[in-house]
Amino acid sequence: MGIVVSQPTADPAPPAANPTANITCASLCSALSFTESDYPVHPVSCASYAAGANITITGGQAAAGCGTSFSPQLDLCRVVLTVETSDASETYMEVWLPENGQWNGRTMNTDNGGVNGCVHYVDMDYVSSRGFAAIGDNAGHNGSSFDGSWFADDNEIIIDWVWRARHAAVVAGKEVVNQFYDQAPEYSYYIGCSAGGAQGMKSAQMFPNDFDGIIAGSAAADFNHLQAWSGRFVQLTGTSNADPRFLSQNDWITVQAAIFDQCDERLDGVNDGILEDPTLCQFDSSVLSCTNNATLAGCLTDTQVTTVNKVFTELYNTEGELLYPSLLYGAQVDAFRLGQLSGSVQAISRDWYRYAVNADPSWDPLDMSQADYARADALDAYHGNVSQFSGDLSGFRAAGGKLLMYHGTADPLVSSSNSQRYYLKVASTLGIDNIALDSFYRYFRISGMAHCGVGGISGAGAWMFGQNAAAAAASHNIIDYLQEWVEEATPPETIIGTKFWYDTQSLGVQLERAHCRFPYRTTFIPGQDPSTVEGWRCDFIEDWRECGPGALPRLCNVDGSFN
């Protein structure tokens, strides 16, 4: 049935009374004690900064390229600490404490992207500007997003990155907050995307009391299989034009035009370059072949058409079990631009399988095989359960936590079908339906959005909804949605996203769209203006749990079973 979308309010939940500091920032470090932490915590520095002042990033964080300097938007006390997480590893962390009555009584932890070891300074500034005491950590190492050479250093550092650094920072950070303001936070939140989305999922799975609410976007979860899937593309496409299988960027633009011709307006009723639900697309690639369509400008050889077909396939193991779902139609040009389909070896995949899985610096990613996939699975527990894909959220549910997940359906780096698969996995593991899931876990598919809405390739859809500092100008904010759900028991029915012309706020709004929660499909209302929220409704997907042959997307094993 069709359900007309509601429009959640853009106003944040009412803040707590703004408490002032219990002691001065300058005296805080010498007064701190840590009784709740499982690990030794060492204060390094405590310093006050006025709004607009310069915070200079130094040491390992600066050397790793995590940033040079930042100017906070509020007066704050910046606390730097280290945590001894094992005999072989330690975590660097920071807590940014709004001063002068500007704290909203809440904490928010930030994430790490890719495999980096950076405090997410941009988002620390973003969430602290909203009054949160911001907590961030370096995941147990200093490093950049696509350099996984540190996987070779020590497995304790991998465990820090997977979960231990985050949990240690949560506990220590809350103790800093408690002692600075002489009161515990009323609510604790988390925000992250990509690897940060997976980190949020891991917190819900492993430490259900760490956060009252979690925003987990474009989650790079099921990490072993994601890296196998990502590493497989170069084996399918070849490395250069010298390979007859290879497609250039212009070739992929030709492919994209054919996909949009078959699956844009024909399926969703609007010719806007956005596939509202690409899982409905059953693309006929034969139209691309010069053999069948010699008059098509830029037509492809039959060998290239085979490459196109293979790129959009799932990854299975030798037993026919699904390891990772397919890239979705509509993401292919950005996948080329970001290296997935351009013949490049994917750095994270290479380093993970080279150093963490095979412990062999000479391992060649072009030789990746089923044996490597199996070895990674066998080492999952050793690596701290890096898969981050347990469907058991019973503890988080019992604790009253709220998990708000989103994923762009045009994501070229992490298939959004995997987030839909996780939704099905939680339902299957807990034996509950979507109505029961709605009480603590809501997943939103963001049409036309690329990976997290960052990196200069954000997508054609209404991708801005306050999920990071780059999207803060949107008219609605996902942080407000989460606060209203946690604090007022008002869950979001939709997430309203904004798209500015050329992603530039000063040029005005191009479109807004209310993205429906799964298992509802955002559906155009004929005769309405598709650039407005009112032009769309949410229709229930009756067969949302269907997993047999012919189901789209393919989220099951070859025999139709689900695990």
Q: Is 9 helix (H, G, I), strand (E, B) or coil?
A: coil
| Catalytic residue (one of 407, 451, 476, 515) | 451
The structure tokens listed for 290 are: 């010069």
- H or E segment and range at residue 407: strand 402-408
d(CA 140, CA 156): 9
Active site residue 411: yes
Contacts of 48 (CB under 8 A, 6+ apart): 24, 25, 26, 75, 76, 77, 78, 99
| Residue for token pair 């996948």 | 335
Active site residue 75: no
Instruction: Tell me which residue of 109, 155, 123, 159 sits closest to 139, measured CA to CA.
Output: 159
The structure tokens listed for 269 are: 């009723």
Q: Is 558 helix (H, G, I), strand (E, B) or coil?
A: coil
405: which strand partners? 216, 443
Q: Which residues of 220-233 are buried (b: 16+ CB within 10 A; e: fewer)?
A: bbbbbbbbbbbbbb
Q: Is 153 helix (H, G, I), strand (E, B) or coil?
A: coil
The structure tokens listed for 444 are: 């939103």
The structure tokens listed for 256 are: 């994209």
| Cα–Cα–Cα angle for 267, 270, 275, rounded to 5 degrees | 55
Q: Which residues of 513-525 are buried (b: 16+ CB within 10 A; e: fewer)?
A: bbbbbbbbbbbbe
Whether the Cβ atoms of residue 538 and residue 5 lie closer than 8 Å to each other? yes
Instruction: Tell me which residue of 314, 379, 317 sits closest to 547, measured CA to CA.
Output: 314
d(CA 222, CA 232): 15
Coarse DSSP helix, strand, coil percentages of the chain, rounded to the nearest 5 percent: 35, 20, 45
Active site residue 137: no
| Catalytic residue (one of 194, 415, 419, 458) | 194
| 15 to 124, 132, 175, 351, 487: CA distances (angstroms) | 19, 10, 21, 44, 10
Q: What is the CA radius of gyration of the chain?
A: 23
Whether the Cβ atoms of residue 121 and residue 57 lie closer than 8 Å to each other? yes
Q: Please, is 198 exposed, middle or buried when counting C-beta atoms within 10 Å of its C-beta (0-12, 13-18, 19+)?
A: buried
Instruction: Tell me which residue of 523, 468, 467, 464 sits closest to 499, measured CA to CA.
Output: 464
| Catalytic residue (one of 411, 415, 476, 515) | 411
Please identify every residue annotated as catalytic. Answer: 194, 411, 451
